[in-house]
């Protein structure tokens, strides 16, 4: 189990981001999503890891429900690769000749190359393989000696159901179907169990592996629960079909392998693959129906997102405009919170408490937070439309339109950040020190910026806000000039690849655009017409943003 843990962790660290990108981009369509799930699981050696990855993508709105089901189906096929590796290397090769050398080479790698993240993980991978082979060797030797102390034929025959339950419980406890299958193959190799009994344990292990995903959905969103239920449904139905067709599948395997001798372990690997492929073929035509059924079981929940406008009637213009003013401020505060969360910037707890920001859950996936922001802005738009339908005087009409425009600018600011958040994460984790250091600087400046903007919308003396906003804009322009100079220097020294330069420029532009959109929103909410005119004279940076660029 320790060897498998090291293998899984090292592979995820070596290529986790690549596989996440692969799943995100190559899962459109039934067949492609199944193939992607099988491929990634075969490499990562963990269907649970892939399933939890899918939970995250679905919750973030990156992956459609039907495609997520396809990845889940494919992951069950991919996880059978472990059985083939263990069956071949563990029982067809003299593994004790390889275990200690692998552990030794990996250990030396950790000592001498431990400072490098890549080589450290490669060394852990070698150590993991070594411990896996050593564990299999120990199990084989101990089980063989155990069978010599008593006559196994004296054990009562209870049928295949107890073995099915043993496989299920073992996997649920160890959180690893691969470990269970290794135990099953060892017992089968020593003739402690018969082939049919071992096959039943493998089927049980397939059910047990769903426990990890189910635990991962406790207290989560409805859409994540749908993914977990799809996993449980597929594995459950496949298990029933596997048990019913067990004699037929065993007969088919015996056409190619003699399950009574050492070929039995290869036969179990073949059985594991066959019954999962049968399950995928059964579910393939019904993936769309399954997705619709899951929505009925776990329907989307609706909740009130507004803090002020739902408490007043739009027919009373004075109260309605005052409530709308406070609601747009609430939206801007939620956007500041969202931007911090999307860019992994520490939350400002004092600010959140002062604004009582509970409408948008900051711990929810980014796509879910953004959807909540859009719903909040939609309610603001609907309410303001009702207000504008009244007979308003010119001042009230201008104020309402200004607030409506401010709400759009706030939403544009959040969408701009949402679109580049993945680039921000990639550069933050980059092995290129210039990229990671530059991203750290962005993060530091943005933390200060969001803190200042948060303080501004809490200010009661509006006459000072215009001056503060102009200072912030000039600071942004200064930092932009500094960034371009630094990037030009790094480019001329060929320290950054051309594609990374382009991505950095795009990200910098997006961060600046989002900041300007927030400043424009605050200006229109907090300042009167005269104060806005004064503000425009104070700055030399164009703030107006083309609405067509936002969506």
* Mean pLDDT across 444-457: 88
Per cent of the chain over pLDDT 70 is: 79
Assign residue 371 the CATH number of its domain. Answer: 1.20.58
| Integer Cα distance of 490 and 496 in angstroms | 6
pLDDT at 401 over 60: yes
- Rounded to two decimals, what is the model's pTM? 0.51
Q: What is the pLDDT of residue 381?
A: 92
Residue 526 CA, chain-centre distance (Å), reads: 37
366 and 490 co-located in one domain? yes
pLDDT band at residue 503 using 50, 70 and 90 as cut-offs: confident
3-state SS class at 527: coil
Q: What is the pLDDT of residue 299?
A: 79
Residue 304 lies in a domain: no
Q: Which of 297, 318, 339 is the last residue of a domain?
A: 297
Q: Quick one: angle between helices 394-428 and 433-456, nearest 10?
A: 160
453 and 376 co-located in one domain? yes
Rg (CA), the chain: 30
Q: What is the pLDDT of residue 162?
A: 87
* Mean pLDDT across 321-337: 89
235 and 122 co-located in one domain? yes
Q: Which of 249, 265, 297 is the last residue of a domain?
A: 297
Structural domains of the chain, count? 2
pLDDT band at residue 467 using 50, 70 and 90 as cut-offs: confident
Residue 152 lies in a domain: yes
**Encoded tokens for 400:** 């309402």
With a CB cutoff of 8 Å and minimum separation 6, the contacts of 371 are 61
**Encoded tokens for 26:** 């190559």
Q: What is the pLDDT of residue 460?
A: 67
pLDDT band at residue 410 using 50, 70 and 90 as cut-offs: very high
The DSSP letter of residue 347 is P
The DSSP letter of residue 430 is -
Per cent of the chain over pLDDT 90 is: 9
Cβ atoms < 10 Å from Cβ of 205: 31
218 and 338 co-located in one domain? no
Residue 223 lies in a domain: yes
| Integer Cα distance of 346 and 362 in angstroms | 11
> Pick from 334, 238, 213, 331: which is nearest to 290 by CA?
238
Q: What is the pLDDT of residue 302?
A: 55
**Encoded tokens for 20:** 């996440």
Q: Which residues form the domain of 396?
A: 309-549
| Alpha-carbon separation of residue 65 from 135, 214, 228, 295, 464 (angstroms) | 39, 17, 11, 9, 50
Q: Quick one: angle between helices 222-244 and 287-297, nearest 10?
A: 130
Q: Helix %, strand %, coil % for the chain, to 5? A: 80, 0, 20
Task: Please state which of the ranges 12-21, 48-57, 471-480 shows the lowest mean pLDDT.
Answer: 12-21
With a CB cutoff of 8 Å and minimum separation 6, the contacts of 294 are 65, 226, 229, 230
* Mean pLDDT across 26-52: 77
**Encoded tokens for 364:** 């929810």
255 and 144 co-located in one domain? yes
460 and 414 co-located in one domain? yes
Residue 302 lies in a domain: no
pLDDT band at residue 547 using 50, 70 and 90 as cut-offs: very low
386 and 533 co-located in one domain? yes
283 and 386 co-located in one domain? no
pLDDT at 544 over 50: no
| Integer Cα distance of 145 and 139 in angstroms | 10
**Long-range CB contact pairs, 151-155, < 8 A, 24+:** 152/191, 152/192
* Strand segments (E) across 189-236: none
| Integer Cα distance of 130 and 470 in angstroms | 62
Mean pLDDT taken over the chain: 80
* Mean pLDDT across 415-431: 86
Q: What is the pLDDT of residue 551?
A: 30
pLDDT at 512 over 50: yes
Cβ atoms < 10 Å from Cβ of 58: 24
pLDDT at 361 over 60: yes
* Mean pLDDT across 262-278: 85
With a CB cutoff of 8 Å and minimum separation 6, the contacts of 536 are none
258 and 358 co-located in one domain? no
Identify the residue with better confidence: 411 or 217: 411
Identify the residue with better confidence: 543 or 112: 112
| Integer Cα distance of 35 and 26 in angstroms | 9
251 and 327 co-located in one domain? no
Which range, 16-30, 58-72, 118-132, is most confident?
118-132
Match 């001798």 to its residue by tokens: 261
Residue 492 lies in a domain: yes
Which range, 17-26, 27-36, 392-401, is most confident?
392-401
Task: Judge whether 338 and 369 are in contact, CB under 8 Å.
Answer: yes
CA atoms within 13 A on the CB side of 302: 3
Residue 200 lies in a domain: yes
Residue 303 lies in a domain: no
230 and 361 co-located in one domain? no
Q: Which of 241, 270, 297 is the last residue of a domain?
A: 297
pLDDT at 415 over 90: yes
23 and 129 co-located in one domain? yes
Q: What is the pLDDT of residue 543?
A: 42
pLDDT band at residue 132 using 50, 70 and 90 as cut-offs: confident
| Alpha-carbon separation of residue 78 from 212, 249, 352, 430, 477 (angstroms) | 17, 19, 45, 29, 51
């Amino acid at each position: 189990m320790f060897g498998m843990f090291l293998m899984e962790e090292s592979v995820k660290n070596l290529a986790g981001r690549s596989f996440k990108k692969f799943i995100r981009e190559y899962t459109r369509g039934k067949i492609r999503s199944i193939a992607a799930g099988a491929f990634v699981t075969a490499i990562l050696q963990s269907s649970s890891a892939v399933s939890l990855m899918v939970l995250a993508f679905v919750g973030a709105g990156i992956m459609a429900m039907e495609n997520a089901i396809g990845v889940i189906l494919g992951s069950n096929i991919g996880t059978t690769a472990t059985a083939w590796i263990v069956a071949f290397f563990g029982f067809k090769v003299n593994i004790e000749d390889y275990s200690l050398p692998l552990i030794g080479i990996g250990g030396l790698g950790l000592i001498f190359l431990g400072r490098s993240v890549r080589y450290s993980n490669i060394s852990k991978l070698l150590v993991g393989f070594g411990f896996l082979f050593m564990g299999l060797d120990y199990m084989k030797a101990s089980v063989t000696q155990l069978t010599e102390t008593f006559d196994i034929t004296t054990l009562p025959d209870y049928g295949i159901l107890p073995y099915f339950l043993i496989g299920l419980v073992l996997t649920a406890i160890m959180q690893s179907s691969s470990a269970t299958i290794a135990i099953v193959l060892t017992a089968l190799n020593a003739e402690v169990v018969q082939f049919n009994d071992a096959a039943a344990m493998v089927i049980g292990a397939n059910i047990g592996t769903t426990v990890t995903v189910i635990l991962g959905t406790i207290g989560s969103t409805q859409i994540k629960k749908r993914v977990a239920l799809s996993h449980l449904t597929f594995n459950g139905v496949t298990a029933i079909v596997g048990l019913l067709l067990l004699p037929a599948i065993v007969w088919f395997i015996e056409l190619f392998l003699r399950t009574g001798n050492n070929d039995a372990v290869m036969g179990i690997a073949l059985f594991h693959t066959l019954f999962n492929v049968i399950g995928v073929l059964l579910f393939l035509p019904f993936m769309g129906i399954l997705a619709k059924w899951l929505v009925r079981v776990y329907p989307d929940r609706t909740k009130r997102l507004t803090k002020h406008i739902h408490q007043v009637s739009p027919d009373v213009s004075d109260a309605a405009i005052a409530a709308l003013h406070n609601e747009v401020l609430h939206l801007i505060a939620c956007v500041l919170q969202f931007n911090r969360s999307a860019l992994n910037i520490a939350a400002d707890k004092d600010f959140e408490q002062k604004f009582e920001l509970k409408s948008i859950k900051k711990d929810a996936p980014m796509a879910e937070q953004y959807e909540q922001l859009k719903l909040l802005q939609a309610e603001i738009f609907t309410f303001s439309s009702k207000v504008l339908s009244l007979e308003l005087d010119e001042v009230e009409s201008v104020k309402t339109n200004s607030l409506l425009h401010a709400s759009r600018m706030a939403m544009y600011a959040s969408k701009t950040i949402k679109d580049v958040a993945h680039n921000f994460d990639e550069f933050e984790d980059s092995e290129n020190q210039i990229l990671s250091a530059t991203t750290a600087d962005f993060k530091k400046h943005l933390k200060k910026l969001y803190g200042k903007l948060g303080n501004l919308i809490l200010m009661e003396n509006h006459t000072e806000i215009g001056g503060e906003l102009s200072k912030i804009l000039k600071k942004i322009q200064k930092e932009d000039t500094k960034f371009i100079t630094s990037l030009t220097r790094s480019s001329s020294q060929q320290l950054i690849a051309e594609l990374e330069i382009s991505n950095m420029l795009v990200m910098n532009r997006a961060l600046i655009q989002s900041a300007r959109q927030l400043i424009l929103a605050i200006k229109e909410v907090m300042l009167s017409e005269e104060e806005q005119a004064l503000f425009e004279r104070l700055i030399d940076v164009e703030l107006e943003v083309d609405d067509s660029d936002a969506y």
